[in-house]
Amino acid sequence: AGMCQEVNVESLHFLYRTVPGRMVLKVLTQPSVSEICGRFLDSSLSKCLICPFVKKNQIDLSEYELEQIGSFNDFFSRKIKQDKRPIDMEENHLIAPCDGLLSVWKIKENTVFPVKQSHYTISSLLHSKKLAQRYHGGYCLVYRLCVNHYHRYCYVDSGQKSRNFFIPGRLHTVRPVALREVPVFTENSREYTLIRTEKFGTVVQMEVGAMLVGRIVNHEEKGSTIRGKEKGYFQYGGSTIIVLIEPEQVQIREDILQSSALTKEVPVKMGEVIGHAIEH
């Protein structure tokens, strides 16, 4: 968490709060720049980045399947050994869909919460006021993945899923840098699906991409889901997964709620129990 916070404070102050930084931000968020970076990280030339990355982030290679790693992106989205992430299959338990740093918000009419250096309401996150209404009074679970985390994720529960809804990212540069309360920010690309579950109502599971080449790769479209089955993975870039739960469906673990009230993130791992269904 400290590593991510250091990047936020130093690099993003320059990018979002200074005139030169805004100019750099415009360049960095161009699709052509992301495409060039992505192509390099997909190529065999990028393998030279793997060893320094492992050393800097103190990654335990013994936990992962490392056959057929041909590029940095292959390594970044590496699979973990099956026994390293046991999935709790108790139907009344709500699990974490990924490794990450978890924050939980109670959703109110105009709740604004931070995601990847931007701020969203539920309606702006989903680009749908009608859908957002279903989650007022419920919970917003934000799992922040740093570059050293495992970047594959699973379905949060079994059920029937909708198609995947993709929302492209945008760069907002409306106000002068002097108006610090309305800084330049990026609206990150994101993709979500609705999962109709038996115990937790209709859940939104959303992946949020990074500013540069945090590409989202989801495996399936509309159909059935199985709790713990791999849903997809991120390629390079710190990323975020958001889960929205309707009101009166889940009781989140008390230690997580207490930490979130103090703006402290809770480290969790994929498959871990983070709450319990409310019996009706």
Catalytic residue positions, numbered: 99, 239
DSSP 75-94: HHTPEEPGGGSPPP--TTEE
**What is the total residue count of the chain?**
280
Q: Which amino acid is present at 183?
A: P
Q: For residue 49, give the nearest of 70, 65, 29 by alpha carbon.
A: 70
Query: Do residues 99 and 150 touch, judged by C-beta distance below 8 A?
Result: yes
Distance CA 184, CA 211 (A): 13
Query: Do residues 34 and 212 touch, judged by C-beta distance below 8 A?
Result: yes
Question: Reduced to 3 states, what is the DSSP secondary structure of residue 136?
Answer: coil
Q: How far is CA 171 from CA 26, 118, 174, in A?
A: 7, 11, 10
Rounded (5°) CA angle 191-196-199? 125
